Amino acid sequence: MTAAAEAVALTFDRAYRNAGGRGDARSFLRTGRGIGASRAEATFRRLHADEGRGEFELCSGSTRTHNGRRLPSRTETLLIALAASSLVRAERRREAIATSGEDGDPEWSMTAHPLVAAAMRLYAIPAEPARLGDDATGARNGAQVDAIRGYEHEGAHANLRTLAGHVWVPFLKEVRTGLRIDETRGRMMARLTIQDMIVPHTVAVAMRGRPLSELIDHPVIDLVPDLRICRIRNNVGTMRPNGMGRPPSVIVETRARPVPLAVAPDGVDVGWRRLPTLHYADVE
């Protein structure tokens, strides 16, 4: 192992221990040629069974030096720490399920953004999403991390993905109003799109930090009355005289910590819920 790869392994192992990991962190790492144009040496992290199948490129560049040794960049260090903490989450979550005597993925072992959790309750979307990679869909870096489980309901259409017990939604749309929920910027940020609506700039600025219920009256918002607005922006749309195109809409971002979908049995450790899942958007 080169000095650069050893620096990555040390950083990964330290972050793993700090997050409460008790296993062999290094057994999830390997070095090899990266997938970029340079094909430089890279470190890969194998996915845990609860994360899917395959591996992803953890660190391929080392731009800083210290006493002649190449070190990971700041962004890479953040990704390494995230990858280590998310591995601990997967391991401790699986241990908690085994302790409870249950199998599979019980609802109490699942978390989601509060807005997503509310939509799942309102539209009775079952907490039975496939683990990422279960459909053998390829993703960047060769990792099997893009499985999608689609649901068609009378009230809404939804695509769900899960990663170590965290449910996130690339697409959920209400049939009646076109109200849409999606997550594109990490596990703590959900975006609500409201059709046929424009908010003046002064109002959008004044609404930051205000409850989402002050902007829209909707059953899904009634389930999360304390959820607050992070940012509002308008999408003017592309409507044409023939009626084709996209109508104007308001995009509202909400930031909140994930919540469990159900209460855990007494005596079961749920401390892993505070740990992150492996979501690239959290460090991009």
pLDDT for res 1: 66
Average pLDDT over residues 208-232: 94
Q: What percent of the chain has pLDDT over 90?
A: 48
Task: Over range 231-257, report the average pLDDT.
Answer: 83
Does the pLDDT of residue 21 top 90, yes or no? yes
Of residues 244 and 81, the one with the higher pLDDT is 81
Tokens standing for residue 210: 């205000």
- Sign of the alpha-carbon dihedral angle for 282, 2, 21, 91: positive
Report which of residues 131 and 157 the model is more confident about. Answer: 157
Max Cα distance, the chain (Å): 67
pLDDT tens-digit series, residues 103-118: 888 999 999 999 999 9
Q: How confident is the model at residue 228 (pLDDT cuts 50, 70, 90)?
A: very high
Give the chain's mean pLDDT.
Answer: 82
pLDDT in tens, 30-42: 988 866 555 677 8
What is the per-residue pLDDT for 72? 73
Q: What is the pLDDT of residue 147?
A: 43
Structure tokens at 52: 């899917």
The sign of the torsion formed by the CA atoms of 246, 252, 255, 256 equals negative
* Most confident by average pLDDT, 42-51, 122-131, 145-154, 249-258: 249-258
Greater pLDDT, 73 or 34: 73
Parse the chain into domains and list their residue ranges.
3-102, 107-261
DSSP 280: G
Write down how long the chain is: 284
Reduced to 3 states (helix: H, G, I; strand: E, B; else coil), residue 46 is strand
